[in-house]
Amino acid sequence: MLKVYLVQMDSAKGSKSENIARAKSLILDARPTEGSIILLPEMFATGYIPTNLDSAAEDFNTNETGETARTLSEIADATSCTIMGAGITRAPNGFYNHVSIYAPHTQKERCGYDKINLFFPERDTFTPGNRINLFTLQNWKIASFICYDLRFPEIFREATKQGANLITIQAAWPTKRRSHWETLLKARAIENQVYIAAVNAVSTRSDTQAPLAGKSLIISPNGDVLAEGTSNEEMIISAELDLLAERNYRKSFPVLDGIVPPDLI
């Protein structure tokens, strides 16, 4: 069993230290179970596409190279959990929209992912990533994607072919397309027979110009919602995932037969 926690939070643009402190407080107050995995929304420390990208960008390689990386490492140590943050790193010709994963009591980033499919406002200044990265936790193989990636089923299928049995999405998805968010997440779970853990940011401030949808979701391989966030408040939701149940479901309803190697089903 693997317990997953989704930190649905509101991130103020231009308030990195405030956002980081808020995330840390929410997580530590929740007292997550040791050995769990914790997800934070897309660009949680800066808000989605901060005004000054150059000052917002950080190096996530080690826990000594950036404020956000240091905090992720501190949270991982304090909780004995693996934490998946998200931020902005520098690319040769711009910036990457980045996922950074820190394990407890390690100084270096456990794994990272750069967003492959850039949303329209990102395309002038961000560089697309070029690879799907999986990492292992206990007996799980986990692939991570970011927000707009959700609209591209081919990368989810490729992650499944590579052995993923849990796929995470970290997002800043808008309220006006909430129905797309919920429908596509369920589709990605059903068509790949994987667990989906999708954390979304939320807008709790009345002056937000483009409110974010919240509705963080944890979904089973057959499309059942295991845990669900609201659309208008900060919260942490969680669920326990059963790897054996997923394997048994894949065997009993073998839609991946001939697509995924038998030893991965």
Buried b (16+ CB within 10 A) or exposed e, 90-126: ebeeebbbbbbbbbbeeeebbbbbbbbbbbeebeeeb
- Residue 143 — φ and ψ, nearest 5°? -110, 145
User: Is 111 tagged catalytic?
Assistant: no
The β-bridge relationship of strands 235-241 and 195-200 is: unpaired
Token pair belonging to 52: 């000054």
Q: CB atoms < 10 A from the CB of 10, how many? A: 21
Catalytic residue, candidates 16, 81, 115, 182: 115
User: Is 115 tagged catalytic?
Assistant: yes
Catalytic residue, candidates 147, 182, 215, 246: 147
Return d(Cα 147, Cα 177) in angstroms, integer. 12
CA 65 to chain centre: 22
C-alpha dihedral sign at 158, 213, 86, 102: negative
- Residue 178 — φ and ψ, nearest 5°? -60, -40
Quick check: 52 and 46 in contact, CB under 8 A?
no
Quick check: 176 and 203 in contact, CB under 8 A?
no
Name the residues annotated as catalytic: 42, 115, 147
